[in-house]
Amino acid sequence: MNPRTLLVFSTSLFLFHLLLVSSENVNLDFPVFSFRNFTLLGDSYLRNGVLGLTRELEVPTSSSGCVIYNHPIAFFDPETNVTASFSTRFAFSIGNINPSSFGDGLTFFMSPNNQIWGSAGGYLGLVNSSQLTKNRFTAIEFDTRQDLRFNDPDENHVGLDIDSLISIKTANPMLQSVNLKSGNLITAWIDYMNEKKKVEVFLSYSSFKPEKPLLTVRIDLSVYLKEFMYVGFSASTEGSTELHYIENWSFQTMGFHPMRPRIHPHNVSDSSVPHTPPIPVSDSSNRHHKRIGLGLGIGFPALFCSALIVFGWVSVKKWRDIKTEKSLKAELVTGPRQYSYKEIKSATRGFNSSRILGHGAFGTVYKAFFTDLGTISAVKRSKHAHEGKTEFLAELSIIACLRHKNLVPLQGWCVEKGELLLVYEFMPHGSLDKVLYAESEHGNPLQWSYRYNIAVGLASVLTYLHQECEQQVIHRDIKASNIMLDGNYNARLGDFGLARIMDHGKSPVSTLTAGTMGYLAPEYLQYGKATEKTDVFSYGVVILELASGRRPIEREAESHRMVNLVDWVWRLHSEGKIIEAADKIMNGDFDEKGMETLLLIGLSCANPNSMERPPMRGVLQILNNEAEPMVVPKAKPTLTFSNSLPLSIDDIVLDCDDSLMPDSQGNQTQLK
Catalytic residues, by residue number, are 477
Question: In degrees, to the nearest 5, what angle opens at C-alpha 41 toward C-alphas 35 and 46?
Answer: 40
Separation of alpha carbons 250 and 91, rounded Å: 10
Q: CA nearest 434: which of 479, 470, 475, 404?
A: 479
C-alpha R_g of the chain: 32
- Answer whether 521's CB lies under 8 Å from 534's CB: yes
Detail the residues annotated as belonging to a binding site for ATP.
380
- 3-class state of residue 388 by DSSP: coil
> What's the 3-state SS for 46-88?
EECCEEECCCCCCCCEEEEEEEEECCCEECEECCCCEECEEEE
Separation of alpha carbons 117 and 123, rounded Å: 10
Separation of alpha carbons 564 and 584, rounded Å: 18
Question: In degrees, to the nearest 5, what angle opens at C-alpha 56 toward C-alphas 54 and 62?
Answer: 55
What b/e sequence results for 20-32 when a residue is b if at least 16 CB atoms lie within 10 Å of its CB, and e otherwise?
eebbebbeeebee
Separation of alpha carbons 133 and 165, rounded Å: 10
- 3-class state of residue 236 by DSSP: strand
Separation of alpha carbons 104 and 126, rounded Å: 12
Q: Could you tell me the CA-to-CA distances from 359 to 184, 263, 334, 482 in Å, in that order?
A: 54, 44, 27, 11
H-helix or E-strand spanning residue 391: helix 389-399
- Answer whether 41's CB lies under 8 Å from 67's CB: yes
Separation of alpha carbons 518 and 474, rounded Å: 18
- 3-class state of residue 569 by DSSP: helix
On the question of a cis peptide bond just before residue 433, with omega within 30 degrees of 0, the verdict is no
Give the residues across from 331 on adjacent strands: none
Name residue 463's amino acid: T
Name residue 346's amino acid: S
Give the residues across from 121 on adjacent strands: none
Question: In degrees, to the nearest 5, what angle opens at C-alpha 14 toward C-alphas 13 and 20?
Answer: 90
C-alpha torsion angle, residues 302, 304, 309, 310 (rounded to 10): 110
**Cα 585 to the center of its chain, rounded Å:** 26
H-helix or E-strand spanning residue 198: strand 198-204
Separation of alpha carbons 181 and 156, rounded Å: 8
Q: In the chain, count of helices (H) and strands (E)?
A: 13, 32
C-alpha torsion angle, residues 528, 534, 540, 542 (rounded to 10): 60
Separation of alpha carbons 516 and 538, rounded Å: 10
Separation of alpha carbons 625 and 623, rounded Å: 5
Q: Are strands 472-474 and 242-254 parallel, antiparallel or unpaired?
A: unpaired
Detail the residues annotated as belonging to a binding site.
380
Separation of alpha carbons 339 and 412, rounded Å: 6
Q: Could you tell me the CA-to-CA distances from 177 to 152, 171, 174, 349, 374 in Å, in that order?
A: 20, 12, 4, 50, 39
Separation of alpha carbons 325 and 563, rounded Å: 47
